[in-house]
Structure 1
Amino acid sequence: MRLVEITDDNRDAVMAVRVHPGQERFVASVEDSFRHARESPDAKPWFRAVYDGDEPVGFVMLSWNLTPGPELRGPYFLWRLLVGAGLQGRGYGTAILDEVVALLRAEGASELITSCVPGEGSPEPFYRRYGFVPNGETDEDGEIILTLDLSTRP
């Protein structure tokens, strides 16, 4: 598994990676993620395709070292993590987070923040298993805010 920059050559293949239809209310598409990144340059979007060999299997997007503000959480915020529908349950999500955590530690980051929509089918249990904990806050959309202390991950 490796994180790969998105270029004109691989953009369409990466945008074709989709979650299960029942998960779409919890995880925005890659195409929507690109739009959100364009619309929110102040959030310092950083994104990569996730490849296994020559096949795109997922996508990850973070706010990278931003100055937190009233509407921006950070400095490191996990906006998007998705693994293709037919490839879930194979450890890709954990491997992606392991790689992101290693990159963040190399930057000197101490925590990673994310949010998720609560409910049946939410990725919240996955994030909790990984070590994220709710910080007691919700955002303006009612999403639960979770924090990962980077010093606690091996």
Structure 2
Amino acid sequence: MTARIRLVEVTDANCDAVIAVRVHPAQDRFVASVEKSFEHAAEHPEANPWFRAVFAGDEPVGFVMLSWDVTPAPGLLGPYFLWRLLIGAGHQGRGYGTAILDEVVALLRAEGATELVTSCVPGEGTPEPFYRRYGFVPTGEVDEDGETVLRLDLR
């Protein structure tokens, strides 16, 4: 059974609680923090960042950020790129990651998107097996940061 979550806009009222969501320390090298995600979004407006807090009930359990409907260019994958997906350390293993992807995929299909692209750092502990179980497949590309590029067909 997939976990029940809501994608919620980040507001002044929930921002501090969302920033407090952290992955396991061993995962820090694979996924940037929520705070760093906000910095990346501000530094790269050309990536058309779209982000949401992930709530289970009244508690923030994760965060998701995409590049939304961009024209692919050097250093900018798209048109829809899963830029960040993180689940708080105390909330992992409960199906939240899959539930987030289910919500994102439904939103993207409603927009007429035909694919979702992401990338991940190679190495032990990488989230690549999670993405592959969901249906993402390696494209054979490696991005400018040395990350493996994966693609999910939404058709």
TM-score over 0.5 (shorter chain): yes
CA distance in 1, matches of 2:47, 2:105: 19
**One-letter amino acid of the structure 2 residue matched with residue 21 of structure 1:** P
1:34-72, Cα deviation, whole Å (9 max, x unpaired): 000000000000000000010000000000001111121
Query: Among 51, 54, 60, which residue is 1:56 paired with?
Result: 60
Residue 132 (structure 1) aligns with: 136
- Superposition TM-score, scaled by structure 1 size: 0.97
Shift of 1:147: 0.2
Aligned residues: 151
Shift of 1:2: 0.4
Query: Among 25, 30, 34, which residue is 1:30 paired with?
Result: 34
Superposition RMSD in Å: 0.4
Shift of 1:31: 0.2
- Superposition TM-score, scaled by structure 2 size: 0.97
Query: Among 105, 110, 117, which residue is 1:113 paired with?
Result: 117
1:21 maps to 2:36: no
CA distance in 1, matches of 2:119, 2:56: 26
Residue 82 (structure 1) aligns with: 86
The SS at the match of 2:63 is strand
CA distance in 1, matches of 2:82, 2:107: 13
CA distance in 2, matches of 1:35, 1:18: 16
Where does the alignment leave 5 or more consecutive residues of structure 1 unmatched? none
